[in-house]
Amino acid sequence: MGEPISVGVVGCGYWGPNLIRNFKLLRKCRLKTMCDASEERLRHLRTLYPDVEGVTDYCNLLQDQTLDAIVVATPVKYHYPIAKASLLSGKHTFIEKPMASTSAECEELIEIAERNGLVLMIGHTFLYSSPVRKIVEIVQNGDIGEIRYINSRRLNLGLFQKDINVAWDLAPHDISIILHVLGDSPLSVNCQGNANVTNGIEDVTNMSMTFRNKRFATIQSSWLEPRKIREMTIVGTRRMILYDDVQTLEKIRIYDVRVDRPPHYDTFADFHYSYHYGDSYIPKLAQEEPLKTECQHFLDSIEAKTQPLTGGRAGLEMVRILEASSQSLRQNGAPVFLAPTQEGQNGVAAKQNAECV
């Protein structure tokens, strides 16, 4: 086994400490530096990790020749400049979702990473979770038949963001899962919403995406709900899946229910829908922290010099969809049609990469 990979984390606010904790635990990793503009924040983290250097200027990480990789966990508006500087300094780079503020910024980061042979990975954490990996396995095995539609709700009270709306904040989790499960990119995006607390920043949105073969998905996002809800329903022609991430153990339940339309009938009196009601069952899931799996995958991708499951192009596809949702919001929910991605309709190449983790 070679030398451990040296990592620095920029941004120690809401999510950064979770990344710091996980990279610190991984045996292939040497967490060398933590960076945050707040000296008070760093002072607290130094009490937890006294052997990790704490700095307020990320340029220290760029100039450190012994640092192999930089993790960017700052507010979204800083993702692009910090990630670009990281890549140009020859560091492998991990960026929390969403990848950047515009698709043009994403494309530039991808180009720099590819030109310099560097790993660029985006933090779409749920794709590394046991429930989502099990759902993908069930779908790809054909157990639920052809997917008809997916409905998702991600609701809670706060945390309010200052630079992005709730669709950019919460919907990326659901979008990444939906694209991964369907193995396809959307044809169009609709989005409606309202800014109830801060002018110009929607805190409630409803997004819908259309896909080929008449499939579609809906995503409801809100910072203004009294209960924390993390639910996704996947409706197939044979069975249906309910994924409730709030549940501690029984996160997935498969329902053997469906509705069949009769193939032909002579009169309206002969027309009857066929309802099938069967049992439901709960598959066994491995108990592991998705973020730990994600961080390990970043290190493995660097060591093996391979493309990560959630690479730059997955991040670009996400931002394209979010940009379309913002455009639709400005147009009172009118559909915004997306051009095919470089990889064709399957922008995330989910089926090919499902075995990466």
Going through 159-312 in order, the beta strands assigned E by DSSP cover 188-194, 204-210, 216-222, 224-236, 240-244, 252-260, 274-281
Nearest by Cα to 13 from 36, 44, 29, 47 = 36
How many angstroms separate the Cα of 150 from the Cα of each of 85, 146, 178, 269, 314?
38, 12, 7, 32, 20
Q: Is the pLDDT of residue 277 over 80?
A: no
Q: Is the pLDDT of residue 121 over 70?
A: yes
Can you tell me the mean pLDDT for 139-168?
94
- Which residue, chain included where needed, has tokens 């590819």? 114
pLDDT for position 267: 55
Cα–Cα dist 39/182, whole Å: 44
Lowest mean pLDDT among 92-106, 124-138, 283-297, 332-346: 332-346
Residues 6+ apart with CB under 8 A from 91: 61, 62, 67, 68, 69, 70, 118
Cα–Cα dist 253/106, whole Å: 36
Can you tell me the mean pLDDT for 264-286?
68
Q: How confident is the model at residue 353 (pLDDT cuts 50, 70, 90)?
A: very low
Domains defined for the chain, CATH in brackets? 5-118 (3.40.50.720), 127-288+316-356 (3.30.360.10)
pLDDT for position 286: 87
Q: How confident is the model at residue 135 (pLDDT cuts 50, 70, 90)?
A: very high
- Which residue, chain included where needed, has tokens 């809670």? 156
pLDDT for position 1: 53
